[in-house]
Structure 1
Amino acid sequence: MTENIFNDWLDQILKTEKPNADIQAYYFGILETEDGYETYLVGSEEFDEDEDWACNTDFEPKNKYLPLGQNGVDWELILADVKKNIENYIQSPNFKNSFLEKAKAIATGFDGGDLFILK
């Protein structure tokens, strides 16, 4: 997945969605499908660094999923790619003044796996 595709997807969500002010944390989940991998964005009204808060889904954008393809690619490479894209986006001008910037936490990880808190 190129960074531009990820950025375009996330920019569109940030322009068109308005989560309620109670959303404290955002999770970029990753899952494997028959066609490769997908990442998705959800938000939670709860955040506890020591708990499995990412299972709460209090916010779901309309364009929740981003197909990544890359069928047969090692999952660790997919995770590293998604983490890098999120970290780079956090440093971008589009992140500033977005609802993501106001979050207590932003995390990623594979469904059922470890959470990696990036903010």
Structure 2
Amino acid sequence: MKTQQKSMKEEIINWINNIHQIDGIPPKEVIAFNFGIYEDETGYKMYLVGGFEYDENNDDWASIELPKELHRYLNLPVKLQSETWDFILDYCANTLIELETEGKLNNPLLQNAIAITTGFDDGDLIKIR
């Protein structure tokens, strides 16, 4: 599973770099980001949204309109698609926590964020930063 997590980390970093390349640096008023997770008919996916507000006591701040741009979505690896939703949540959260601990989420896209979270839509958020 460690090798799989390494490749997931690389996929996330490449994805974030691609978003940054396409969208540029967000306005300084974007203070929080959520790596949302959901499942549709084709499998588990992650998306990235930024918010102009953050409340650590109320996850509603992350109830932001879903991105319309396809580059804001990441299909989770095929090997994860047969796992349970709670495994997916733990796996994604742990991967993002490792990236944050290693300083790899200090990409210009995310560097000014006071908060970074992840979680399934309609579920509790897990704080990464």
Return the letter of the residue paired with 2:17.
D
- Aligned mates of 2:66, 2:36 — CA distance in 1: 14
Name 2:27's counterpart in structure 1. 20
1:37 to 17, 38, 44: 44
Distance 2:94 2:45 in 1: 15
Whether 1:96 and 2:106 are equivalent positions in the alignment is yes
Indicate whether 1:118 and 2:128 are aligned: yes
How many Å apart are 1:79 and its aligned residue? 0.7
**C-alpha contact (below 8 Å) 2:28/2:112 kept by paired residues:** no
One of 60, 63, 73 as aligned partner of 1:55: 63
Structure 1, unaligned stretches of length 5 or more? none
Identity over aligned pairs, percent: 33
**TM-score calculated relative to the size of structure 1:** 0.84
CA contact (8 A) 1:43 1:60 kept: no
Q: Which has the higher helix share?
A: 2
Cα deviation digits, residues 70-100 of structure 1 (max 9, x gap): 4332011111121122112223454335231
Instruction: Number of aligned residue pairs: give it.
Output: 119
Cα drift, residue 56 of structure 1: 2.9
SS in 1 for 2:57: coil
CA apart distance, 1:61? 6.3
Which residue pairs with 2:82 in the alignment? Answer: 72
Distance 2:107 2:123 in 1: 30
Is contact 1:108–1:115 with CA below 8 Å preserved after alignment?
A: yes
Structure 2 unpaired stretches of 5+ = none
Judging changes above 3 Å, is the alpha-carbon distance between structure 1 residues 9 and 98 closer, same or farther for their aligned structure 2 residues? Answer: same
Q: Provide TM-score, normalisation by structure 2.
A: 0.78
